[in-house]
């Protein structure tokens, strides 16, 4: 199959976002790239059950997927207004962001992630989602670092 026979919508850009400045910058860049290339844009957000509560009880009102959906709504409204020709889908997935994004990269033409820029030493100690994506994604990866 040559590049001329590939449909515009066969190209899918996946972007991971968690609401941080770096991930929002990555999202904006990904939207512009999708617009430029005629690609669709898939926004992926991951969540995990908290492990730091110990033996305490998680309140019944705890709804991380709902909280993320509420966080994304105004972001999506702005994104769709600024990039009306970009087909945008969202997925909110339970799981650690690194493997969720790696899974989402299969079949994507590009994976875009933000990096909070904790530095190399912290990254060595606790790992880094962006570093994991660069090393293991099934497609090219663009990483945006937050500027302090």
Spell out the domain ranges in the chain. Answer: 9-48+60-145
Alpha-carbon gap, residue 95 to 28, rounded angstroms: 24
How would you classify the pairing of strands 40-47 and 12-16? Answer: parallel
Alpha-carbon gap, residue 129 to 144, rounded angstroms: 12
What pLDDT is recorded for position 85? Answer: 95
What pLDDT is recorded for position 92? Answer: 96
Which residues, other chains included, contact 50 with Cβ-Cβ below 8 Å and sequence gap of 6+? 58
pLDDT tens for the chain, residues 1 to 148: 344 434 444 689 999 999 888 899 999 999 999 999 999 999 999 998 776 656 567 777 888 899 999 999 999 999 999 999 999 999 999 999 999 999 999 999 999 998 876 555 544 433 488 888 999 999 999 998 766 5
What pLDDT is recorded for position 132? Answer: 87
The predicted model scores a pTM of 0.82
Alpha-carbon gap, residue 91 to 108, rounded angstroms: 14
Domain 9-48+60-145 belongs to what topology?
Answer: Rossmann fold (3.40.50)
């Amino acid at each position: 199959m040559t590049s001329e026979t590939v449909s515009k919508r066969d190209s899918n850009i996946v972007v991971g976002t968690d609401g941080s400045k770096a991930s929002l910058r990555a999202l904006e860049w990904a939207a512009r790239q999708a617009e430029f290339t005629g690609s669709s844009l898939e926004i992926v957000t991951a969540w995990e059950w908290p492990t730091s509560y110990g033996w305490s009880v998680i309140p019944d009102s705890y709804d991380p997927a709902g909280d993320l959906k509420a966080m994304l709504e105004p972001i999506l409204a702005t994104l769709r207004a600024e990039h009306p020709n970009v087909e945008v889908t969202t997925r909110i997935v339970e799981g650690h962001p690194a493997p969720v994004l790696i899974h989402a990269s299969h079949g994507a033409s590009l994976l875009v992630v933000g990096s909070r820029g904790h530095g190399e030493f912290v990254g060595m100690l606790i790992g880094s989602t962006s570093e994991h994506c660069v090393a293991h994604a099934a497609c090219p990866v663009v990483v945006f670092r937050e500027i302090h």
